[in-house]
Amino acid sequence: MICLSVLCVPEAESRKRKGLRVGSAQWTYFWNLYWLANWRRWSQIPGFAPAPQLQVTGSVVVPTPAPPAPPAPPAPFVPPSPASATILTFNNTSGTDVYLCVSTQSGLQPCVAGSIMQDGCPSNVSQLGVVDLATNQSGSFVQWPSTSPQNGWYLWKNGHTLQVFNNMTNPYTGLNNGCLQGLVFGVNIWGANCGCNFQTPGVPVPPGDFLCNGFPDTDPTSPTYNNDTPSTYTLVPNGSTAFEPSLNLPGLQCNLAFGNNPHESYDITCVNGSNAIFSVTMTPPAAGPYFTYNVGNGSQSATTTFTTQNSWVLVNPPTVKASCDDNCIDPSAAIPGSSRAGVFPYGATVCTSNPDPNPPCTNTADPYVLNKQFCAATAGSGCNFDRQPNAGQVFGGTLAVTYTGPATPPASCP
Amino acid sequence: MRSDQHHASRRCVGPVNAKWLLLVLVGLALLCQLPCGAEFEPELSHSYLQTQFAWAMYIDSCEVNHYLNYPGSSLHPLTKVRIRYRYFPHDGRPVNWPAKTYDEFWYHDGKPVGLRRNAEINLNKNDIGVIVIGQAADHFNSISSTSDALVRLLVNLQLQRAVVGAVIVPPDQYDPLLANLERYGFSSTMKQVSGPQMKIHLRCDSGSRETYLCLH
């Protein structure tokens, strides 16, 4: 019998004494109704203990001990960047795990002749930090290859958001300034890989050629871990997309102000092709500073949340057929024919020029030499988002980059 | 006339009249090029698929009138949905792998009643592939059968960590398939949610339409 309280037992004994013949189930039912109806009044009697929580084990009713208090959640990881720094996050909504690849500036160290590195800005991937906001775990990019400290990869799990931050201190101040200067991010491949456009199915890429199809073995238990092997090649028939932020610049080199404009900027570049769709949402601080971008011959200031996105490129390598680029015109623009804000089209180092004065894919052995550029943007003076800092070299706000999935072109040009 | 020809081309043929129907189909194919989906055939030999993807799959359906066709049969008519696949190795292995049949589903009234798995697929993690929706049987249930088979295939591929770059759909099946996928909880409305997600990039094979569907 499952009772609502141990009071059932004396009730049964009392009934037995009086010789009543009412069925046990009926008595239990009536008694429990009576007990429930009066419970509130009885519980107000001083010293009347509330009924303990009961647990049924077979036919034995035992009290359940109070469950232990759940462990306190770990304190959120707080990157060492200053609170006023612009935050950079990466959200993977593609439905699959991918690898977030990053390249820092090309090995130029601060205070070296010709260097553009500003003080306290990471010049190799070990100086960058990553925190997975879904798990609150912090980590770092895996340097690859071991001889090139400017390239790294990080497992970017489906549905997870990463925050990438500066993990070093400015040697002149001893403080972290949050600087993320001249970084290049890609998915499953590092940027600048025009050569992959000419890849012929069935013909392997030489191992070690990381600018083409190669990608390191990411299985930490494998003897070839972090080495480039043929089985880890990534097919990128239309090149690769890159997101290029330059954030929280201190405006100082060797602790001296310099003439170069210490602004923030970012763009999505399909100069070397497109293998991924990035959607970049910028949320500025309420009081600015605000990014500006070019539309047609004019310039717009983004004072509220603003999103831009790249699209596919069809390089069509097998034969010289119609090829096309969907990155030159934004189909959702308010003004028809406007370009995608902050997006460099394929082969356009000067994003508004066609033909480009310095095409990035200049391999003379390229059998598809005509496939260098298909269109240009109509973005006035350029395809970047730019902003000047507020007083004190303060920027702020958030850049949220979402990887929505691979960029797959249609079978033929529209 | 055209409608009848179209209808005939979407029936699975029995063993007796297969030869004659095959001849008729070949003749019809020469005479009547379908406006959509004609570029991609079950053999998956189109150069676009070979150069853009590491693998491809093809889903088509047809009525199976000669199965379980007896008085009082509660499973007639049947729709057979066939999934074919092909690898396009880009790592130096030969590329002349033929297309093979992976799964065959049988549906009655849009509900799955049978499955035959002909092979196991072993896709490399992060290899990007494509699913092509091919010819469908004419009746309404074929779209829901195709949709169901597509969703099952997508879950299968997701578990293998394969990446589906796009689902290419003939224009005449685009809207019905889209509506059916929404019944499974896929939505074209992007939500800011955390945690694993599933996504379908639906694209009309003419390139004129595309829709991103999310399962949150």
Over the stretch B96-129, which tens digit does the pLDDT of each residue have?
A: 788 999 999 999 988 999 999 999 888 877 788 9
Mean pLDDT, residues A101-105 taken together: 91
Rounded CA-CA distance A313/A58 in Å is 67
At B70, the amino acid letter reads: Y
**Per-residue confidence at A390, pLDDT binned at 50, 70, 90?**
very high
Q: Where are the alpha helices (DSSP H) in A173-212?
A: none
pLDDT at A155: 94
Is omega for the bond preceding B77 within 30 degrees of 0, making it cis?
yes
Cβ–Cβ < 8 Å for A130, A143: no
Cβ–Cβ < 8 Å for B59, B143: no
Radius of gyration (C-alpha) of chain A in whole angstroms:
32
b/e per residue B60-83 (b: at least 16 CB within 10 A): bbbbbeebbeeeeeebebbbbbbb
Q: Find tokens 């297309």 and name the residue.
A: B99
Mean pLDDT, residues B3-31 taken together: 49
Q: List pLDDT tens digits, range B68-95.
A: 888 988 888 899 999 999 998 766 666 6
**Per-residue confidence at B193, pLDDT binned at 50, 70, 90?**
low
Cβ–Cβ < 8 Å for A354, A231: no
pLDDT at A71: 81
pLDDT at B26: 47
Q: Say if the Cβ atoms of B92 and A230 lie within 8 Å.
A: yes
Q: List pLDDT tens digits, range A187-207.
A: 988 765 554 544 454 555 444
Interfacial B residues in 62-91 facing A (CB < 8 Å): 88-91
Q: Which of A89, A90, A91, A93 is best to mutate for the B interface (most B CBs within 10 A)?
A: A93
Q: Smallest Cα–Cα separation from A217: which of A268, A145, A147?
A: A145
User: Of the ranges A228-237, A284-293, B48-57, which one carries the lowest mean pLDDT score?
Assistant: A228-237
Q: Is 0.90 surpassed by the pTM of this model?
A: no
Mean pLDDT, residues A210-227 taken together: 75
Mean pLDDT, residues A2-31 taken together: 42
- Calculate how close chain A gets to B115, using CA atoms only, in Å: 26
Interfacial B residues in 193-212 facing A (CB < 8 Å): 193-199, 201, 203, 205-208, 212
- Residue A385 in this model has a pLDDT that exceeds 80: yes
Rounded CA-CA distance A25/B167 in Å is 62
- Residue B144 in this model has a pLDDT that exceeds 50: yes
pLDDT at B208: 80
Any chain B CB within 8 A of the CB of A410?
yes
Chain A residues with CB-CB distance to B162 below 8 A: 96
pLDDT at A342: 95
The single-letter DSSP state of residue B8 is: H
Contacts 24+ apart (CB under 8 A), B43-49: B43/B86, B43/B98, B43/B99, B44/B84, B44/B85, B44/B86, B44/B99, B44/B132, B45/B99, B46/A411, B47/A318, B47/A319, B48/A411, B48/A412, B49/B86, B49/B88, B49/B130, B49/B132
pLDDT at B194: 65
- In sequence order, what are the residues at sequence separation of 6 or more whose Cβ sits closer than 8 angstroms to the Cβ of residue B192? none
- Calculate how close chain B gets to A395, using CA atoms only, in Å: 25
**Per-residue confidence at A6, pLDDT binned at 50, 70, 90?**
very low
Q: Say if the Cβ atoms of B165 and A408 lie within 8 Å.
A: yes
b/e per residue B100-113 (b: at least 16 CB within 10 A): eebbbbbbbebeee
Cβ–Cβ < 8 Å for A157, A95: no
Contacts across the A-B interface (CB distance below 8 Å)? 111
**Per-residue confidence at B6, pLDDT binned at 50, 70, 90?**
very low
pLDDT at B10: 61
Rounded CA-CA distance B63/B12 in Å is 6
Q: Smallest Cα–Cα separation from B198: which of B187, B209, B207?
A: B187
Q: List pLDDT tens digits, range A277-324.
A: 999 999 999 999 999 999 877 889 999 999 999 999 887 654 556 678
Q: Smallest Cα–Cα separation from A117: which of A125, A127, A107, A126?
A: A107
Beta-carbon neighbour count of residue A155 at 10 Å? 15
Any chain B CB within 8 A of the CB of A409?
yes
* Element housing B210 (H / E): strand B210-215
**Over pLDDT 70: what percentage of chain A?**
70
* Closest by Cβ to A95, choosing from B88, B130, B199: B199
Farthest CA pair distance, chain B: 56
Chain A residues with CB-CB distance to B93 below 8 A: 202
Q: Say if the Cβ atoms of A201 and B89 lie within 8 Å.
A: yes
- Residue A235 in this model has a pLDDT that exceeds 60: yes
| Average pLDDT along chain A | 78
pLDDT higher at A243 or A34: A243
**Per-residue confidence at A75, pLDDT binned at 50, 70, 90?**
confident
- Residue B182 in this model has a pLDDT that exceeds 80: yes
φ, ψ for residue B122, nearest 5 deg: -135, 90
- Residue A54 in this model has a pLDDT that exceeds 80: no
Cβ–Cβ < 8 Å for A327, A344: yes
Number of domains in chain B: 1
Interfacial A residues in 287-316 facing B (CB < 8 Å): 316
- Calculate how close chain A gets to B114, using CA atoms only, in Å: 28
Q: Say if the Cβ atoms of B91 and A231 lie within 8 Å.
A: yes
- Residue A56 in this model has a pLDDT that exceeds 60: no
Cβ–Cβ < 8 Å for A360, A315: no
Is omega for the bond preceding A204 within 30 degrees of 0, making it cis?
no
Mean pLDDT, residues B39-47 taken together: 88
**Over pLDDT 90: what percentage of chain A?**
40
pLDDT at B91: 62
Q: Say if the Cβ atoms of B91 and A204 lie within 8 Å.
A: yes
| Chain A residue with Cα closest to B50 | A201
